[in-house]
């Protein structure tokens, strides 16, 4: 059996996460039991939610246990199978974690999903046609539920979730405004992702400036907001929200390191008669087929052309992950695990 | 025509509202035109939302114009009619404002509603079987939507909204926990209003104490919260909220004077996958008939026995209103305008 490299969570961050929180180890891949398949991971997905899992404190999902392989989505190929449902060569996505290989029970529901790579590249099943895309779909369709002509805003606009959000919202006839960090990302958002306007938060780094920028970008106010970051951007959105605006709370990356992140004026939820709703997409598996079908079509027809930032080799994962938390990536952050 | 006393908003509060913001004047009641009716107000309703209207700043409803009669719900009797739909002696509720008499266009939809005082005393149509009761109904039924056995919490528990909330929630098989100010109110809440537990916020005056009290009062966590006050109580509720908890935001009386009222940890909305929704009951007229029917039955059958605090005479209204904002009233605050 092949030698497997793994990255474990070695210790928990004190404030900001560092590479010292992780540990690279090598182990043998166990022999397969009946029903199991051996998957060689081609790509590891890096996503902001992982930062929350690194904390001991109550988060929106179970804490990542110390000394175990970091959780994570993976896309790869079946290289050995003792399960009739999977053949060698099948392309599959699963939650293999930060390692090069995984042994999976092919009969356990939801552990492994065969994917078609004829029209959609394998890596996109970790992004636009995977969990991040479905996340955008749920927040937009099930919480914001926009009408044509409404204005919707998304933070972390050029990431995997934000770029899918833009394509889905444009398909519904919305005005779509993004918030991203840096001129280059903003240009990419408007030129390639279909955003009507993109606001550079580096140039609008406080409540007053962001509120002003949102006023210009959203002359008819804000009807829906997809929240990935928290902090002053959410405060600014509330100041520009229309009556009956909806906020889908997907992430608050600005607070993951433990710093206090208050909402300055929650009374605006009442003033604007808003709905603010948090969600985790894995708790809504019933919508995945419908969402994946729309996302696959958007990618297949070229209406959603997600960009990827790809780190090479498992050892590069911690550094790439820390970069993701700082917004250094461009589009979906992946680690390629094969040459 | 009778001489009419009125209270106008004379100037806007700087911080806390005072009696000096109001002005008592006397005018003649105009003669009736075709279609109009003259109503003698028996009761004026005092409600927390009025404080928001006194501010110039954007509130959840139009600002009260200076120099005009303060807005307010009234219950009274038709004393003269030039409208075939209304006869002298009809008991009616409307939005007559802070004055003794009003002339109403009987044909304008929603301006006046005839009520039956055989089973429900007239004054209750301004409380349990009126706007406050329907407010409780909407927040509980349409936003919190509790299942039997769930735990729901309401602040300002012994007020007109809170007491109706308790009866409605008990009728749905919920554990109902109130938060009120003072031992006497808490005793009234559990002994007469049906609350399972009532927490005295005067004895739990900060986040830590309130959070601890809520933990004891809600051993299975909090599934629904009806928000009337804001501030540290909302922070404490979020710390004790279950996954998928719902918060109906009806008022944030703690912030009406303009002081900042941040929400300390909005990330809990995500952690708990909560829904936080603001509403104004007058924007949901479609539910009033159903809500009023249930509330009328609860009062008629003695399952909801609302208490009232009644000030005598229009000139007493400002003082009574300021007392309401400080929680000095017990149950529904009214002003009686007839001897």
| Tens-place pLDDT, residues B97-154 | 999 999 999 999 888 999 999 889 999 999 999 999 999 999 999 999 999 999 999 9
The answer, yes or no, to whether residue A327 has pLDDT greater than 60, is yes
CB B291 within 8 A of CB B165: no
Q: Looking at beta carbons, which residues of chain B come within 8 Å of A265?
A: 260-262
ipTM associated with this complex:
0.90
Q: What is the pLDDT of residue B236?
A: 97
Rg (C-alpha) for chain B, rounded Å, is 20
DSSP assignment, residue B2? Answer: -
pLDDT (0 to 100) of residue B253: 72
Note the pLDDT of residue B106: 93
Q: Strand B74-81 and strand B91-94: pairing? A: antiparallel
Give residues with Cβ within 8 angstroms of B108, minimum separation 6: none
CB pair distance less than 8 Å for A271 and B234: no
The per-residue b/e assignment along A120-143, b for 16 or more CB within 10 angstroms, e otherwise, is bebbbbbbbbbbbbbbbbbbbbeb
Q: Among residues A207, A230, A211, A209, which one has the least CA distance to residue A222?
A: A211
Instruction: Kindly state whether B63 is in contact with chain A, defined as any CB-CB distance less than 8 angstroms.
Output: no
Cβ–Cβ contact B252 with A under 8 A? yes
β-sheet bridge partners, residue A247: A225, A276
CA closest to A58 among chain B residues: B271
In residues, how long is chain B? 339
Burial A163-196 (b: 16+ CB within 10 A, else e): bbbbbbbbebebbbbbbbbbeebbebbbeebbbb
Alpha carbon distance A276, A57 (integer Å)? 23
Q: What integer pLDDT is reported at residue A230 of this predicted model?
A: 87
Interatomic CA distance for residues A118 and B324, integer angstroms: 69
Residues of A in contact with B278 (CB under 8 A): 269-275
Distance from CA of A291 to the nearest CA of B (A): 20
Chain A CB within 8 Å of residue B56 CB: no
Per-residue pLDDT of chain B in tens (339 residues, 90 and over written 9):
689 999 999 999 998 999 999 999 999 999 999 999 999 999 999 998 899 899 886 655 678 999 999 999 999 999 999 999 999 999 999 999 999 999 999 999 888 999 999 889 999 999 999 999 999 999 999 999 999 999 999 999 999 999 999 999 999 999 999 999 999 999 999 999 999 999 999 999 999 999 999 999 999 999 999 999 889 999 999 999 999 999 999 988 766 676 778 999 999 999 899 999 999 999 999 999 999 999 999 999 999 999 999 999 999 999 999 999 998 988 999 999 998
Residue numbers of A between 178 and 237 with CB closer than 8 Å to B: 230, 234
> Measured between alpha carbons, how far is A21 from A10 in angstroms, rounded to an integer?
5
Q: Specify the residue for token string 């009969």.
A: A107
| Selection from A112, A127, A128, A101 nearest residue A45 by Cα | A127
Dihedral angle over CA of B224, B230, B236, B237, nearest 10: 0
What span, in angstroms and rounded, lies between the C-alpha atoms of B175 and B197?
9
From the list A140, A130, A129, A139, the residue with the least C-alpha distance to A170 is A140
Q: What is the DSSP string of B258-273?
A: S----BS-THHHHHTT
Is A277 in contact with B279 (Cβ distance < 8 A)?
Answer: no
């Amino acid at each position: 059996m092949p030698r497997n490299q793994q990255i474990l969570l070695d210790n928990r961050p004190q404030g900001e996460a560092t590479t010292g929180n992780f540990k690279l180890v090598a182990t043998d891949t166990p022999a397969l039991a009946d029903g199991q398949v051996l998957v060689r991971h081609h790509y590891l997905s890096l996503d902001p939610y992982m930062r929350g899992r690194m904390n001991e404190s109550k988060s929106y999902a179970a804490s990542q246990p110390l000394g175990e392989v970091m959780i994570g989505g993976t896309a790869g190929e079946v290289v050995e199978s003792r399960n009739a449902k999977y053949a060698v060569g099948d392309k599959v996505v699963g939650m293999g974690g930060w390692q090069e290989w995984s042994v999976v029970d092919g009969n356990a529901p939801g552990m492994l999903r065969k994917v078609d790579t004829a029209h959609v590249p394998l890596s996109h099943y970790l992004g636009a046609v995977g969990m991040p895309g479905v996340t955008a779909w749920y927040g937009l369709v099930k919480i914001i539920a926009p009408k044509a002509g409404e204005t919707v805003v998304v933070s972390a606009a050029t990431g995997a979730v934000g770029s899918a959000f833009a394509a889905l919202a444009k398909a519904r006839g919305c005005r779509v405004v993004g918030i991203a960090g840096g001129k280059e990302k903003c240009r990419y958002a408007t030129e390639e992702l279909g955003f009507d306007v993109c606001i550079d938060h580096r140039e609008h780094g406080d409540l007053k400036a962001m509120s002003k920028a949102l006023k210009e970008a959203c002359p008819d106010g804000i009807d829906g907001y997809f929240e990935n970051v928290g902090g002053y951007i959410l405060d600014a959105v509330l100041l520009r929200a229309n009556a009956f605006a909806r906020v889908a709370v997907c992430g608050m990356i600005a607070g993951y390191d433990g710093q206090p992140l208050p909402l300055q004026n929650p009374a605006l939820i009442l003033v604007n008669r808003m709905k603010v709703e948090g969600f985790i997409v894995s708790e809504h598996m019933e919508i995945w087929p419908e969402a994946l079908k729309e996302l696959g079509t958007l990618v297949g027809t070229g209406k959603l052309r997600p960009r990827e930032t790809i780190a090479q080799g498992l050892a590069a994962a911690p550094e790439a992950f820390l970069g993701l938390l700082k917004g250094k990536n461009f589009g979906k952050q992946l680690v390629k695990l094969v040459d």
